[in-house]
Amino acid sequence: MTTGERPQMQRAKRLRLPAIAASVREARTWAVAQAVALGLGAEAVESLRLAMSEAVANAVMHAYPGGDGAVHLSTAREEGVLRFLVEDDGCGRAAAVTATAGAGLGTSLMRALCDEFDVLDGTPGTRVMLGFALPGA
């Protein structure tokens, strides 16, 4: 990412990334920029940084066994909560858990870091919602 791209990325409410390891860092950077711009507190931003890394890493590692795919990010400010959605169009959570030896530690970590957390197994894909209460809400 070049310096000239950063302002546009900070204004974005949606981002589509390839499901590759390098996208974890880009997703984290995008999410933090969104959170700071919308007034999320410093401690919550650090929690978001880690939770977003975990959610995108899970999509990269598990959603597309043996194939290419994308990770879709979006954010919305609703009812005093800043919510981030991490989506993929991959094999779905149930298939990914069966196909890989995930211990579920990442899910527990994300749940502990977020004020709101949900995982929805779609057809296709998986959706992870990370929610953080905004200060003064």
- Dist CA 81 CA 40 (whole Å): 9
Top-tier CATH class for 3-133: alpha beta
Q: pLDDT, tens digit, for every residue of 81-113? A: 999 999 999 988 765 555 555 557 889 999 999
Query: What DSSP element (H or E) covers 132?
Result: strand 126-133
- Dist CA 71 CA 107 (whole Å): 17
Residue type, position 42, single letter: A
**What integer best gives the mean pLDDT of the chain?**
86
Q: Where are the alpha helices (DSSP H) in 12-114?
A: 22-37, 42-58, 93-99, 105-113
Tokens of 81: 């909560």
Is residue 9's pLDDT more than 70? no
Helices 42-58 and 22-37: crossing angle in degrees, nearest 10, is 150
Q: pLDDT, tens digit, for every residue of 57-73? A: 999 999 998 889 999 99
Residue type, position 95, single letter: A
